[in-house]
Chain A
């Protein structure tokens, strides 16, 4: 319930500003001007605090235009495919963890490799046991272990997180590459290069066909089940970040670690725990990967996912310097990033090779607007203050 509260306070602030403004004005401003001005202030402050929504809206509009220009009709099917794309559900789920890690002022480069390892474990456990609960447990367990190793080394051994997770990024993927060749075919479910869900298992139907690839139709709109899992994680972590003491501690550590420690926060544990949480979310993502795709290729799957997740976090308005940002932004960041992909694919003249160039450009552009905006405002505010002081 934190979200409406934030927005609710904005108009209150504006009223206060207006009152001070009115001290000089002999007549109170006419009510329509007041309404117009507070609406404008509301839009302005939303831009400051929730600019990721605007980014997403702009990206979707561009997508709609590009689709229409290609002679197709933009409809809910397009939205549905954005919602169920790999970049939304799998990268998005992991990006929630990445957001927490970044909020504490750290970074996790290992999530793409951890996804491969965890999905490997998940599929193997499924193939061997044919049990959905055990599969879920294995996914979460393997993810948590991957995260705990990162967290222990970063927070307690005090190796810079960039280095720790660069190392584990290499380790997790290479272990999986080795394992896929070493483990017998009937367990990996496929040849020597892939882990694959055994379709002969009786639970295959429920996991893969029903949960993994089906959609729930609500009023003509198709809503994939895997997307619901992603959204459930998102809502959970929006709540945790806004309304729990743990969430506040995560922000406090990123904002001023010394002050947090001197207020009794166990800063080492907080810094380690966000990696474990990220590991658990990698576990969730690997359940989605297993049931949505049905297999994983250690050599190629999940490559650069850590970079996509960072991009989603940044597009979601979370500061790389830590301490600031809204987990809800991750939803819009991931959706925006996925949509940019669709835009590029929808323009036939563009080759897929050029896709990353556009993604990179959009990323830089959006961040430029976000960082330049406050800097320009600050300059004006600074001037106003200087005048006040004299």
Chain B
């Protein structure tokens, strides 16, 4: 029997159609995997289900009752619980206070019946086999325990349908096993679960059935038992689009950057040699360690073991040491990590150079203006005046300003962490064209991105990370969306094990 039936769901944001006529069905007592690449429409669909967003068309039926205009409270009452990727527990309260938050048991005048709430919490936790003390402060819990607490909270509200959005990203293997045993217990109780994950091994371990979305359309539905990981990955990425290839084969120089047994926060024993003029892409799902590798080879995170050689010399220490070796990093999340909002475009560019040349303390404006003119031309930055506020530029143009920040100190190794984040499609192409131009001019470029088609456009090699380890290094001709996805979800391994 089906607990949830969503039929003909469509949703558009302005002109952007994110869901086209999608059907989604979940049966009672099953774990249903909802799959798709970033931007496939999964979160929009789930938000419509939870009453967070209104759908444009379509019907939602839960347990036989139709909800034409669902609201968050209505869906909560109906038994839908959404466990978000970022946890919503309150650290300064105890476990039992969190579970009863906003639904506290009271006698008159709002006085709490604390003992009763604690004993009820204990019963709930025991029934699930969760070993947590009801009076423990949540701040003292591990991430995995907080995750379980979120699930307990949902169950306390008597949820019939639990939505788990990538619940395993922050968990270790043992913790995942524990979580899964609890999920199985819930399933036996007859509750339904929607499980969103990118990790193929997990999906094949826990889920009973699946739905794949791609570009807002329903691609396939079925039982996990009838399908292979390769098949699901193919459904997720679709047939190869005929991309216009701007890539050209270039003569590469001498090895300029080497990682040997390189370990840091979130990754282990990475070995990699990069040559002058090469474009190397690092990729992997969130939490795979690719971004951390990049930050560690710029001194922004500590090196735990191993070495990084730049121009043959081992470099360690803080950021300025790497900058002096002509390494520059364009960090992810531009607004948080790159933009100095109160500075002009010129001052934003000059910031890195100023911090290296403090021994000449006085700023001379004329040579800086000349330099600005050159950089503006090289990178075709669209700014009217060097004194324009940085915040007046578009995302793509801001990103060029921050590239200029590094070109200005003659960085010849550029680390670009998710450089096209929040940049519109046109400007993306622009940035990638620029990356190739810089490579042709002898710059060495390492990009961390999740956007596989973009990797194919520019990179000579692609290094795929899974759970902190390099699982594959693919040459340009071997880079395709299907294989990269296969490696980064570790589906390749599942396939081998099944054979």
Contacts and interface: CB of A to CB of B under 8 A. Distances in A.
Interface stretch (B37-45, B103-111, B341-349, B435-443): B341-349
Interface in B132-167: none
Contact of A265 (B351, B384, B385): B351
A16 interface: yes
B64 interface: no
B354 A248 contact: yes
B430 to A, nearest CB: 22
Nearest to A9: B387
Contacts of B405: 263
Which 4 pairs between the two chains have the least Cβ-Cβ distance? Answer: A264-B355, A245-B354, A255-B342, A323-B342
Contacts of B339: 256, 259
Q: Which of B329, B358, B384 has the most CB of A within 10 A?
A: B358
A252 B349 CA distance: 12
B357 interface: yes
A112 to B, nearest CB: 29
Interface in A346-377: none
Query: Which applies to chain A's interface (DSSP): helix, strand, loop or mixed?
Result: helix
A251 B343 CA distance: 8
Nearest to A5: B365
8 contacts: A9-B387, A245-B362, A248-B350, A256-B341, A262-B331, A263-B351, A264-B356, A323-B342
Given A259-B337, A261-B319, A265-B351, 5 more contacts: A249-B355, A256-B339, A258-B337, A266-B318, A266-B355
A248 B347 contact: yes
Contacts of A13: 385
Contact of A244 (B340, B341, B355, B362): B362
A304 interface: no
Nearest to A245: B354
Interface string A237-278: 000000111101101101110111111111000000000000
B94 to A, nearest CB: 27
A12 interface: yes
Interface in B328-342: 329, 331, 336-342
B406 to A, nearest CB: 9
Interface of A: 5, 9, 12-13, 16, 243-246, 248-249, 251-252, 254-256, 258-266, 323-324
Contacts of A246: 358, 361
A245 B361 contact: yes
B363 A324 contact: no
B418 to A, nearest CB: 14
A251 B356 contact: no
A262 B363 contact: no
A245 B358 contact: yes
B300 interface: yes
Interface residues of B, number: 33
A334 to B, nearest CB: 23
A259 B355 contact: no
A12 B365 CA distance: 18
A377 B365 CA distance: 32
Nearest to B347: A248
B364 to A, nearest CB: 9
Interface in B1-34: none
B320 interface: yes
A104 B219 CA distance: 53
Contacts of B452: none
A324 B365 CA distance: 20
Contacts of B118: none
Nearest to B386: A9
Nearest to B329: A262
Contact of B385 (A9, A264, A266): A9
Interface in B377-405: 384-385, 387, 405
Interface string B290-328: 000000000010000000000000000011100100000
B462 interface: no
A324 B342 CA distance: 6
Interface string B75-93: 0000000000000000000
A16 B384 contact: yes
Given A251-B342, A255-B342, A324-B342, A245 B352 contact: no
B340 A252 contact: yes
B368 to A, nearest CB: 11
A385 to B, nearest CB: 12
